Amino acid sequence: MRMVDVIEKKRNGNALTEEEIRYFVDGYTTGDIPDYQVSALMMAVYFQGMSDKETAVLTQAMVDSGETIDLSSIQGHKVDKHSTGGVGDKISFLVGPMVASVGVPVAKMSGRGLGHTGGTIDKLESISGFNVEITKDEFIANVNKNKLAVAGQTGNLAPADKKLYALRDVTATVDSIPLIAGSIMSKKIASGADSIVLDVKTGSGAFMKTLEDSEALAREMVAIGKNLGRNTIAVISDMNQPLGYEVGNANEIREAVEVLQGAKVNDLRELSLELSAHMAVLAKVFPDYDAAYKQIEENIDNGKAFEAFRTFVAAQGGDVAMIDDLSLLPSAPYAVEVKAQEEGYVNAIDAASIGVAAMYLGAGRATKESEINHGVGISLKKKIGDHVKAGETLLVLHSEEEEPKDSTEKALQAYEISSGKPDDLPLIYKVIR
């Protein structure tokens, strides 16, 4: 087989065979096929697309390019949750203990954050002693015992995706639905889940800005899951503003714990209940969504979900005193209020700008080598639809500096104030099965 023929076939709009897809994925992973030919193929895919069948084969070939995690020694049906990424997204800390509290095993491999969205692992490390570098045996034993464990991504999962993603990033071929869908799903499938619930974000702070694109991505990922024998559901949820009120590492742990203890932060409670209920149904722990939702909500109100989080933190070496007394979590010395310059209604909050403002404070990494500061972050005081007077506080920056100029400017830019009250935004747009 010659790579030039594969490129030409796709360029002309024809579907590639399994053999052709495996040929270029394997050849690229081993280094036998050069960047320039794979770049040309990625551009051809960008313009010509891929069928569901081709996308599923591409995904499986990327899974097969490296290790896969074998979770078969965990009892029960393992369901993973994946978010396409957003600012203030602390949903994993909610759904993990919520579904664990009803007996669904959650074995989660998570990453660190780069850029303006923080990573799950960084956030958990706000809790002193919390250890994500557990061995595979500890990971599995913890899930069997407590139904919940989180480990940093180890091993060589989907190395073909790693190489292809780096290439796409510099050849303007990231925004291709089949390529994004295959990339995300290859990592989920290599991580060993039996079923997958996807939280596909839509809006200004999301990877996909329009509902149409988000839905296309969701449908493609659900199709891959089905084709590769994983039950997959996608919930399309709003990311036109940060989720909840807190952004930053310790800030997000604090808010998640409050919600687990029953705080009615509506978007967080609602979205995590929705995702958890789908997970519990896929795990066959409940016959239907309503029964799952009701029991999980009850487990928030009776303290079982919070207890599952405590047990999980203790099992991974975290200081539970910090969870019982949230004021012990890391915090920054200065609380700098950013005030509205005019009266009106909050019409928009650009989540990406809030994420960048938090990164400037030190909550995220500008480069892979940057050190995270767990105590800094942002507390939003006003969200879309809220009325604000001139001089009233829009948000608070938790900072190491008395006058964090860049973050203040960036955070202020994120807010759009208008004279009329905007329409309410839906939290959940669609569920794709």
Interface residues toward ligand URA, by CB under 6 A: 165, 174, 179-180, 183-184
**Cβ-contact 338, 408 below 8 angstroms:** yes
Nearer to ligand URA, 50 or 417 (CB): 50
> For residues 174 and 431, which CB has a smaller minimum distance to ligand URA in the complex?
174
Minimum distance from residue 180 beta carbon to ligand URA (Å)? 4
CB of 68 to ligand URA, least distance (A): 17
Tallying the residues shown for the chain, one arrives at: 433
User: Minimal CA–CA distance to 249: which of 410, 113, 404, 393?
Assistant: 113
Least spacing, CB of residue 174 vs ligand URA, in Å: 6
Q: How far apart are CA 281 and CA 279, in angstroms?
A: 5
Q: Which is nearer to ligand URA, 119 or 318 (CB)?
A: 119
Q: Is 82 a catalytic residue?
A: yes
Which one of 89, 122, 161, 350 is the catalytic residue? 161
Which residues does 82 contact at the CB level (< 8 Å), separation at least 6?
A: 184, 188, 196, 197, 198, 199
Residue among 215 and 246 whose Cβ is closer to ligand URA: 215
Find the radius of gyration of the CA atoms of the chain.
22
CB of 95 to ligand URA, least distance (A): 19
Residue whose Cβ sits closest to ligand URA: 183
Is residue 126 part of the annotated active site? The answer reads no
Q: Which of 81, 147, 168, 382 is catalytic?
A: 168
Distance between CA atoms of 371 and 433, rounded to whole angstroms? 40
Identify whether 183 is a catalytic site residue: yes
User: How far apart are the C-alpha atoms of 112 and 42, rounded to whole Å?
Assistant: 27
Closer Cβ to ligand URA, 158 or 253, answer by number: 158
| Tokens, residue 259 | 């919600």
Residue from 80, 90, 221 nearest 151 by CA: 80
What does the block give as tokens for 402?
A: 């008395």
Give the shortest CB-84-to-ligand URA separation in angstroms: 7
Catalytic residue among 10, 22, 81, 187: 187
CA dist list (Å): 177 to 38, 48, 218: 17, 11, 9
Q: Which is nearer to ligand URA, 15 or 174 (CB)?
A: 174
The dihedral formed by the CA atoms of 59, 62, 66 and 71, expressed in degrees to the nearest 10: -10
Cβ neighbours of residue 414 closer than 8 Å, sequence gap 6 or more = 349, 350, 351, 353, 354, 357
Q: How far is the CB of 212 from ligand URA (least distance, A)?
A: 18
The active-site residue, picked from 22, 78, 81, 82, is 82
Choose the catalytic residue: 183, 191, 214, 276: 183
Could you list the active site residues?
Answer: 82, 161, 168, 183, 187
